[in-house]
Chains A and B, each alone.
Chain A
């Protein structure tokens, strides 16, 4: 850093440096006032299994804690800060109404094991959300408990395997396109299947001939993302589904990009048997710095009986919760998480759905697709779209326009940081060289997009003008400049450690055994 940019304090205006909590405070302080409550050894009921020494946690007062996290927050880019073009992640607006409702007494404080007679409103809410999800997808059933999209994939494949085993049809293989999210092959492996790749054709779609050649009666499922990770609708989707069904395989659709078509196209009408829905992508629950997610899985008639516990059923004039395979009249394959799913995310997603309505969702998917196509059209000529349009909800570029400039896709992305935008997804999907996947979402105004387009055109021109140093030095205005990821991986430092001279640990009280 040039000397003129340094300060005495280390702070730089609103960029405030903040040490770790372990480098602050004193063990005698606490930001929570709790009564003292002496429990002499003879009076506890711990059987001697009692901590003897300090834990090693720091102690801070409330003002210090609030300042710590506020300063940390200011080092983050977020959707609330600006355009977050991370393709495939769908960084759309997170309505604050959702947050308010998830915290209502009687929803946020519900205990999962309070008598179901005292949680009828919660079960009804789950049923109403399930009705929206099945109606929007055109599939008859939904497993609500998966904790996130990848967990939904796992549940979907487990359901498929359970259905196949039930008919005595043990199959070994799952086919996954090369362009798929990494979770797809990882999921199939975690479900005990061998994974084989399907190639892409020259149009960025599944190579149907290759798929047909790979299909046989030992294929359990194909896992296809639609719209796919190139931001394109699989034009031969009906043929893909028919080919899978012809050999008795199931069609698992990765629903990560359902937001592009929600309200306008029902996956059930495309021959899909099973699809997870990332509630944060399509239905606006917060991304939260990387979770929590929620990944309900919609299921065809053939798969529905095998869905995991728990699930809600109508019972008399109320609702019942089936929590164990032994108390089910269906054939659930088991349980996949504690309790009943990501209820707090259900509240948020349903609040969004009711706010938008069928008409609003119809418009939202149209605006998402319109915004992406506008970006692609306006950047064509300056940057190089990987495939001809129209695209769906995201615009994919390759690095052809950077050829011979000395600027890489990563450099280009880092320069966007200095311009105040969150970079697009880079180097994914892997079927495109130096991929840049831009997803503006429906949450952005035309004015924001116009500034973004002007900025990217300018950066592309700068790269072509030979100023590669501008890109290699980027970012210059972020809280940190480029970080050494190789060093982090070579000798990992995964936690703060105390000075060994002052460290102390507790010991088990052997005398009490």
Chain B
């Protein structure tokens, strides 16, 4: 048993020291009928090669998106992860540390969290950020609850351009807290008017940029309308690479930004784990959920970092806490911050431009295919097309030709009458001209 250091002789000596004849005696507080006499009915232990074979077999029954032309997005994006990221996050001192409860021996974790918070504040144009949450959808729900605490109101408005998983997650959290969540219908036209739904009871409006259909939006006017009613503007961002090129939410006067950080440093991993992002105005700090890292000094006056403002948190406040959240997404936040450090100012800007350029190339090629109707006037690296047939069928036909050709909107919004022919396609810096050629020719065959 390669993970267990004790020998039989050790166990014998330790039992003698404790003064009991067998390990079973240490389980004497378990009611006897509940004590199993033999191991459960599951396979016995395997050596490393055998375990590896089993997982290679699982993997072989999937199509690896790295191996085929891939145009999948809808909140999770395939970007190149520099080799240094994965090497550094597997340093045992990062990988196998825990929450920095003893800051004197956790300055590595604390300093990268402080840097992460700063980077996130900078790219979103906000004043402060926390040390990460679970994912974009739960960050959106946490942002809404935070807005309700700040505004002391119990009604929220969710844009029809919000990712349906973010909307559904937020609705779940709200329902159990008795918060009235008003979801506007999905709209690929971008002509919805959340401001018209505002009144003095609304805590916030939640919008997304780019929205789930890929449209790039300026929410400055909506921010003004929100603030005029005493409500907050929450902007969700699920493609952080876009922040290299787009006006950040902070410059639109957003109050809270809830986001998904997977695009930087984190592989798609079938949707998790990823890293939830939360940034806000500094005056809202005491209503923020999750961990915050702050600067201080040690007794010798040297700069150091600690977790701070923990009186907001469950381990101090218990049922009065701002959230029940305990962990953050430490290692995913580390991957995010290393990738962003590697990119730097120049790299983030170029990566944004490159993504947009690849999406333009894809857009213009698809626009020339009969039966493909382009719906976006604006986009960053993802857009929506309308096909003459159910998009799910087209995607299956493309998969049969070895192409992962986008996300059918019906997969996200099965009940929406307009969803069926709509297809979301994303292009990133990893999509080559050959990929686009392959998609275009397969699409011509399928349609």
Taking CB as reference atom, which chain A residue is nearest B118?
A495
In the complex the two chains form, is B316's CB within 8 Å of A182's CB? yes
Q: Does A293 contact B (CB under 8 A)?
A: yes
In the complex the two chains form, is B26's CB within 8 Å of A286's CB? no
In whole Å, how far is A299's beta carbon from the nearest beta carbon of chain B?
Answer: 17
Q: Does B86 contact A (CB under 8 A)?
A: yes
In the complex the two chains form, is A478's CB within 8 Å of B105's CB? yes
In the complex the two chains form, is A369's CB within 8 Å of B93's CB? no
Q: Does A347 contact B (CB under 8 A)?
A: yes
In whole Å, how far is A43's beta carbon from the nearest beta carbon of chain B?
Answer: 8
A369 contacts across to B, CB distance below 8 A: 23, 26-27
In the complex the two chains form, is B326's CB within 8 Å of A66's CB? no
- The listed residue (B13, B138, B347, B396) touching A147 by CB distance below 8 A is B138
Q: A47-B378, A86-B98 are in contact. Are A480 and B272 (CB under 8 A)?
A: no
In the complex the two chains form, is A102's CB within 8 Å of B347's CB? no
- The listed residue (A119, A233, A353, A362) touching B62 by CB distance below 8 A is A119
In whole Å, how far is A415's beta carbon from the nearest beta carbon of chain B?
Answer: 12
In the complex the two chains form, is A76's CB within 8 Å of B324's CB? no
What 9 A-B pairs have minimum CB-CB distances, sorted nearest first? A339-B271, A112-B271, A288-B331, A121-B61, A106-B59, A80-B92, A357-B45, A59-B344, A292-B273
Taking CB as reference atom, which chain A residue is nearest B5?
A445
In whole Å, how far is A203's beta carbon from the nearest beta carbon of chain B?
Answer: 10
In the complex the two chains form, is A446's CB within 8 Å of B345's CB? no
In whole Å, how far is B42's beta carbon from the nearest beta carbon of chain A?
Answer: 4
In the complex the two chains form, is B45's CB within 8 Å of A390's CB? no
A293 contacts across to B, CB distance below 8 A: 327
In whole Å, how far is A209's beta carbon from the nearest beta carbon of chain B?
Answer: 19
B residues 1-24 touching A (CB-CB < 8 Å): 1-7, 10-11, 13-15, 17-20, 23
* B307-346 vs A, Cβ < 8 Å mask (1 yes, 0 no): 0111101111111110111111111101000101111111
In the complex the two chains form, is B108's CB within 8 Å of A74's CB? yes
- The listed residue (A47, A65, A189) touching B319 by CB distance below 8 A is A189
How far apart are the CA atoms of A482 and B314 in the complex, in Å? 24
Q: Does B104 contact A (CB under 8 A)?
A: yes
Q: Does A411 contact B (CB under 8 A)?
A: no
B residues 239-274 touching A (CB-CB < 8 Å): 243-248, 251-252, 260, 267-274
In the complex the two chains form, is A27's CB within 8 Å of B345's CB? yes
- The listed residue (B54, B268, B285, B331) touching A494 by CB distance below 8 A is B285
In the complex the two chains form, is A147's CB within 8 Å of B134's CB? yes
How far apart are the CA atoms of A73 and B106 in the complex, in Å? 9
Q: A344-B269, A360-B1 are in contact. Are A288 and B10 (CB under 8 A)?
A: no
How far apart are the CA atoms of A50 and B36 in the complex, in Å? 64
- The listed residue (A147, A187, A269, A475) touching B105 by CB distance below 8 A is A475
In the complex the two chains form, is B246's CB within 8 Å of A355's CB? no
Q: Does A185 contact B (CB under 8 A)?
A: yes
- The listed residue (A124, A136, A270, A446) touching B42 by CB distance below 8 A is A136
B135 contacts across to A, CB distance below 8 A: 147, 337-339
How far apart are the CA atoms of A132 and B55 in the complex, in Å? 16
In the complex the two chains form, is B98's CB within 8 Å of A287's CB? yes
In the complex the two chains form, is A323's CB within 8 Å of B102's CB? no
Name 5 interchain pairs, CB-CB below 8 A, sorted by A: A30-B344, A114-B404, A147-B135, A291-B327, A340-B271
- The listed residue (B2, B26, B63, B319) touching A114 by CB distance below 8 A is B63
Taking CB as reference atom, which chain B residue is nearest A414?
B104
Number of interface residues of B (CB under 8 A): 216
Q: Does A451 contact B (CB under 8 A)?
A: no
Interface centre among A68, A136, A148, A343 (most CB of B within 10 A): A148
A326 contacts across to B, CB distance below 8 A: 414-415
A43 contacts across to B, CB distance below 8 A: 360
How far apart are the CA atoms of A105 and B320 in the complex, in Å? 44
In the complex the two chains form, is A186's CB within 8 Å of B314's CB? yes
In whole Å, how far is B404's beta carbon from the nearest beta carbon of chain A?
Answer: 5
In the complex the two chains form, is A487's CB within 8 Å of B125's CB? no
* 18 more CB-based (< 8 A) A-B contacts, given A344-B269, A489-B308: A50-B246, A114-B404, A118-B399, A147-B138, A233-B30, A288-B95, A290-B131, A341-B272, A342-B273, A343-B269, A344-B270, A356-B1, A371-B6, A428-B315, A442-B4, A479-B104, A484-B297, A489-B294
A327 contacts across to B, CB distance below 8 A: 414
In the complex the two chains form, is A112's CB within 8 Å of B64's CB? no
In the complex the two chains form, is A335's CB within 8 Å of B168's CB? yes
Q: Does B107 contact A (CB under 8 A)?
A: yes
In whole Å, how far is A382's beta carbon from the nearest beta carbon of chain B?
Answer: 14
In whole Å, how far is B145's beta carbon from the nearest beta carbon of chain A?
Answer: 8
Taking CB as reference atom, which chain B residue is nearest A192?
B176
In the complex the two chains form, is B61's CB within 8 Å of A124's CB? yes
**In which size bucket is the chain A interface?**
35 or more
How far apart are the CA atoms of A158 and B173 in the complex, in Å? 9
How far apart are the CA atoms of A60 and B337 in the complex, in Å? 13
Interface centre among A290, A442, A507 (most CB of B within 10 A): A290
Q: A70-B88, A357-B44 are in contact. Are A31 and B260 (CB under 8 A)?
A: no
The A contact surface, by secondary structure, is: loop
Taking CB as reference atom, which chain A residue is nearest B179?
A192
- The listed residue (A50, A69, A485, A492) touching B247 by CB distance below 8 A is A50
In whole Å, how far is B225's beta carbon from the nearest beta carbon of chain A?
Answer: 15
A479 contacts across to B, CB distance below 8 A: 104-105, 107
Q: A55-B345, A110-B62, A118-B399 are in contact. Are A495 and B88 (CB under 8 A)?
A: no
In whole Å, how far is A447's beta carbon from the nearest beta carbon of chain B?
Answer: 9
Q: Does A246 contact B (CB under 8 A)?
A: no
* B17-43 vs A, Cβ < 8 Å mask (1 yes, 0 no): 111100101111111011110011111
Taking CB as reference atom, which chain A residue is nearest B293?
A494
How far apart are the CA atoms of A339 and B272 in the complex, in Å? 8
Q: Does A207 contact B (CB under 8 A)?
A: no
In the complex the two chains form, is B88's CB within 8 Å of A57's CB? no
In whole Å, how far is A435's beta carbon from the nearest beta carbon of chain B?
Answer: 13
* B87-107 vs A, Cβ < 8 Å mask (1 yes, 0 no): 110111111111111111111
Q: A65-B84, A78-B96, A147-B273 are in contact. Are A492 and B60 (CB under 8 A)?
A: no
- The listed residue (B102, B169, B343) touching A336 by CB distance below 8 A is B169
Taking CB as reference atom, which chain A residue is nearest B351?
A34
Q: A103-B267, A422-B105 are in contact. Are A370 and B23 (CB under 8 A)?
A: yes
In the complex the two chains form, is A37's CB within 8 Å of B96's CB? no
Q: Does A458 contact B (CB under 8 A)?
A: no
In whole Å, how far is A78's beta carbon from the nearest beta carbon of chain B?
Answer: 4
A445 contacts across to B, CB distance below 8 A: 5-6, 10
Q: Does A406 contact B (CB under 8 A)?
A: no
In whole Å, how far is A235's beta carbon from the nearest beta carbon of chain B?
Answer: 5
Interface centre among B40, B359, B363 (most CB of A within 10 A): B40
- The listed residue (A341, A374, A495) touching B121 by CB distance below 8 A is A495
- The listed residue (A34, A188, A195, A288) touching B354 by CB distance below 8 A is A34
In the complex the two chains form, is A136's CB within 8 Å of B272's CB? no
- Of B149-157, B195-203, B298-306, B438-446, the one with at least 4 CB within 8 A of chain A: B298-306
How far apart are the CA atoms of A151 and B273 in the complex, in Å? 13
In the complex the two chains form, is B128's CB within 8 Å of A115's CB? no
A47 contacts across to B, CB distance below 8 A: 216, 218, 377-378
How far apart are the CA atoms of A505 and B329 in the complex, in Å? 29
A residues 486-508 touching B (CB-CB < 8 Å): 487-489, 492-496, 505-508
How far apart are the CA atoms of A136 and B292 in the complex, in Å? 36
